[in-house]
Structure 1
Amino acid sequence: MYSQLITAERRKPSSIGDRNLIDETSSDKSRVIFSGPFRRLQQKAQVFSLETNSSVRSRLTHSLEVADYGKLIAYKITNSLIEAGNLKSELQIPFVNIVETACLLHDVGNLPFGHFGEAAIQQWFKKHWEKYFKKAIGENIQMDEISKLMADFIEFDGNPQGFRIVTTLQNPAMGYIGYGLNLTKTQLFSFLKYLRTAGEEKGEGIYKKAGFFNSEKHIVDNLKTTFNRIGRFPLAYIMEAADDMSYCLSDIEDGVEKGILSIREFFEYLRIEWKKLSSNVSLPFDLDLIIDSESTSYNDKFFFFKTKVARSLIEVSSKTYVERHSDILNGKVDQLIEKESDADKLLESLKSLSKKHLFRSREAENNELAGHAVIYGLLEKFSLLLSIPRDHFQSLIDFKNDSKSIKGKDLDIELRLFNRLPAKYIEAYEYAIHNNPCNFALSHDELEWYYRCHLIVDFIAGMTDLYSLNLYKLLHGIKID
């Protein structure tokens, strides 16, 4: 089975031959680590935006921790699978590499200011897209088809944006336009946490949120055909489990580091939340023995607590994968940390605690409110580029080679906004409008405007927290660099 699932096939065949699966999966990891979007995660918040305390996690340090958990789970799983004769030993390292790289990638599409940045994009497009579409295209245009595609923005999320980055935007060279990092198909499928397109009917589990935009649906369709699968890819379960256990623990530790709650308060709040979810008086994994120890300082208690929780959840996740192996392969499992288990209730207790005592802190909420204003405000400014007709926007592209292209069109402000857009994203936009890779049934004007929306959002979504704040100040005349 895994010989068909773990392959070296890429969307664009590699120019380097005679590489084995270890080489190919290691190459995927290198492509991610050396990419610009991955580096920018160091200046995107995990919880606390614009943080000056280097001990508090960024999205980059969080992703590294998730990758470490994922690697540990993957090694335990593969050892058991090899022993049971369900995995060839030569596939162990490729298996682990793929999981680790999926974990490194899982937040690569994260926006500046996190979920509030996502909410700002969703709200802006829900309120304004029709107005700007009519300005650019005309009043008397049927909007049935374009309305479906606008779900990409009305349901905007970091997960599909991350998939778009690695498959479409982050071209390493001119010959790879339209292929992104050109990761192996196995790696791409292992990165997909959710399996519905923006705009499709919502469901439970893997259909709860959009996993990819309409602009990348043709890529996902190809993955499903290649592997003859419609359900979640087996290795994606491991990435999800590693992320869940990582952020539940790290968010608490960051809150303690910032002094938002003490370790003593954390233990008290945890027991309160646990009792709401479980009929068991005691916490799982003998955690009460650590918390109630009279001979240990609170700092040591917290260290032993998080170590015990991490080890226990790694064991639970790997055990579920092995024991329900057939169901995992067939996509019939919701998650490795099974619902209503003690492990799940512990994670839910930690999440509830964080929502009540960390995310509602004044510091966290101040950053979220500011972040929403920044992203919404940037969309307001760049909406000028969405209000002009296609030929005017093309004039902005042509200006680089023909300074007379905008003469008499009153595009002075638009040109300066356009000059902010990254060349790679403009290349991806031009490739899409000229090739229509998804075969959308749109007029050329409609198709161009749809991809122009993605171009603007790609730019804003790729910003770091600080860059977006500084650009907001500049465009509003508050501060000039």
Structure 2
Amino acid sequence: MANCSLSKMISVEKVDTRSKYDRFDAFLSDKGRLIYSAPFRRMQQKAQVFSLESNSAVRSRLSHSLEVAHIGSYISHAIAKEIRSTNYHINENMEFWLEHELSINTIVETTCLMHDVGNPPFGHFGESTISEWFKNNDRIALILSKAGIIEGNKNLCECTKKDISLNDFTMFDGNPQAIRIATKLQGEDGLTGLNFTYTQIAASLKYTYGGKGFVKDKTNHLSSKLGYFSTEEDIVNNTWEALDIPINGRHPLTFIMEAADDISYCTSDIDDGIENEVVLEEKLFKFIISETSNETIIDDDIAEILKICKGERKNNKISTFTEFKTKLSKKLVAHAAKEFFSHFDEIMQCKYNQPLLNEKDKTNQTLLILRLLKKFTRENIFNHRDVEMIELSGHSIITGILNCYQPLLELTGDNFNALVCNKEADVSKVASRLYRTLPEKCLKSYRAQIEKNTGNKHIEWNLRSHLIIDYISGMTDQYALELYQSLTGIKVK
């Protein structure tokens, strides 16, 4: 294992070396490249929980990401305070942290702002809908047969699944899609994307296992989900090599983004539920009081939070829920910072693989409240009829769009290449018209990758599937609805 050093992991080196920056300028440039990008702007019309919501007070993915960035910066600052206040010897990595605190904070903010940029329309339900569509072996076997990849009515074997990297789609997730957007889709050449520093790419890699040979390991949190697609395996490996991070190692700053996201959504989803009158704050407080009634509370801060739930207020200038949320967030930030500091050396050596807010720790009363909030959200918001009905609509919309674009996946590689090269092709009028709806940025990435993999029909089909999914996952909720209505003839413009 490499001897990891923060000075190596906070590097200005980029994929495209034509751009030269000083340390802080490089990370400020990364942040600018993200916030001026179209995928970042599109998050304002992607739902956090309530899709197709007209109430602008309810969070979108964009407003949620801004809140996560604030909390991530808060945690980063709290870690620096922990380092400054320690009575122990400050090592080289700690000294580097304090010296480059502004750069570190900027990387954390950008990582937080980017964490949901790859999410498809209709959020996590959209992710599962894409996965389910590609998990239908009969459907995929029929498509591959028409595309000339498997013969006749042969079953879809595991070997073929591996050859076409079907995991990219059956385990589709917004996190690897975000890496794909940043490293491929946003660039004019289809190869360098936003041309982030290797540091920013690594810090944005929430899960560190992926690629062609991905196997989920239930004992390793960092393999909980697919971390990157087969198409980005090369750039991820190059990133680790450039930063001296061991294979499958997590960048230290990623822990902060993960904790910030947990802290943010555990209260914001309930806040939105209250705003939309899906749930009353009184119900939340009664639930927390009931669930903690048999607990011996020894944490003074948690005792204060429970007093707020019981109506014992100290700040009448804000709502009860706002006071509750503020105190809990401060407590969770402090806990995350202390956890990071207590495992500082392990994290720096890329040997730590647990979240900072580890809900498996049943002894910590701060995490008890976090678990209760997530339980309450599952039972009273995610399972609410209005939310579930929108999710069912989202499922129909995304499934319908995938069904409509299936003819493009059924083409042989030669016929699809003819469309790409604007040559005469033996394809249906439907397929040719569907092809012309695809965005140029997605097509640029496809063309660039095909040039590197000429003649491999399995990789070509994988890249073609990514082309379709890149288009769909980039859609806003409203655009997906309108496209579905147009393609299916429900609404003709």
Answer yes or no: same fold by TM over 0.5.
Answer: yes
1:439 counterpart residue number: none
Return the alpha-carbon distance in structure 1 between the equivalents of residues 412 and 81 of structure 2.
59
Deviation at 1:145, TM superposition (A): 4.8
TM-score by length of 1: 0.91
Tell me whether 1:195 sits opposite 2:208 in the alignment: yes
Matches within 5 A, 1:137-148: 137-140=148-151, 145-148=159-162
Matches within 5 A, 1:124-203: 124-127=133-136, 128-140=139-151, 145-148=159-162, 149-171=165-187, 173-174=188-189, 177-197=190-210, 200-203=214-217
Return the alpha-carbon distance in structure 2 between the equivalents of residues 242 and 59 of structure 1.
14
Return the alpha-carbon distance in structure 1 between the equivalents of residues 71 and 469 of structure 2.
32
Deviation at 1:82, TM superposition (A): 5.3
SS at match of 2:438: coil
Deviation at 1:376, TM superposition (A): 0.6
Return the alpha-carbon distance in structure 1 between the equivalents of residues 366 and 77 of structure 2.
20
Change (3 A) 1:476 1:414: same
1:233 counterpart residue number: 251
What RMSD, in angstroms, separates the aligned Cα atoms of the two structures? 2.2
Change (3 A) 1:299 1:14: same
Tell me whether 1:316 sits opposite 2:335 in the alignment: yes
1:358-383, CA deviations, whole angstroms, 9 ceiling, x for partnerless residues? 01111100110000111011000000
Tell me whether 1:21 sits opposite 2:30 in the alignment: no
Residue identity matched to 1:327: E
Matches within 5 A, 1:35-434: 35-81=37-83, 85=90, 86-88=94-96, 89-127=98-136, 128-140=139-151, 145-148=159-162, 149-171=165-187, 173-174=188-189, 177-197=190-210, 200-203=214-217, 204-226=220-242, 227-230=244-247, 231-274=249-292, 280=297, 284=302, 286-294=304-312, 300-330=319-349, 331-338=351-358, 339-340=360-361, 341-399=364-422, 405-406=424-425, 409-434=426-451
Contact 1:74 1:99 in 2 (8 A): yes
Residue identity matched to 1:189: A
Which deviates the most, 59-68 or 446-455? 446-455
Residue identity matched to 2:107: I
1:33-63, CA deviations, whole angstroms, 9 ceiling, x for partnerless residues? 0111111000000000000000000000000
Note the residue ranges of structure 1 that are not aligned, 5 or more in a row. Answer: 437-441
Change (3 A) 1:305 1:35: same
- 2:466 paired residue among 451, 454, 468: 454
Contact 1:263 1:298 in 2 (8 A): no
Contact 1:264 1:298 in 2 (8 A): no
Change (3 A) 1:138 1:232: closer
1:220-267, CA deviations, whole angstroms, 9 ceiling, x for partnerless residues? 222222223232111100000000000001001000001111111111
Return the alpha-carbon distance in structure 2 between the equivalents of residues 62 and 280 of structure 1.
31
Residue identity matched to 1:97: T
- The number of residues matched between the two structures is 464
TM-score by length of 2: 0.89
Return the alpha-carbon distance in structure 1 between the equivalents of residues 278 and 375 of structure 2.
16
Return the alpha-carbon distance in structure 2 between the equivalents of residues 285 and 31 of structure 1.
44
SS at match of 1:197: coil
1:76-127, CA deviations, whole angstroms, 9 ceiling, x for partnerless residues? 2124335664223431111101111000010011110011111111111111
Contact 2:27 2:106 in 1 (8 A): yes
Deviation at 1:398, TM superposition (A): 2.7
Note the residue ranges of structure 2 that are not aligned, 5 or more in a row. Answer: none
SS at match of 1:10: coil
Which deviates the most, 450-459 or 81-90? 81-90
1:338-374, CA deviations, whole angstroms, 9 ceiling, x for partnerless residues? 3322222211111110000001111100110000111
Return the alpha-carbon distance in structure 1 between the equivalents of residues 149 and 129 of structure 2.
26
Residue identity matched to 1:23: D
SS at match of 1:56: coil
Change (3 A) 1:82 1:170: farther
Contact 1:120 1:376 in 2 (8 A): yes
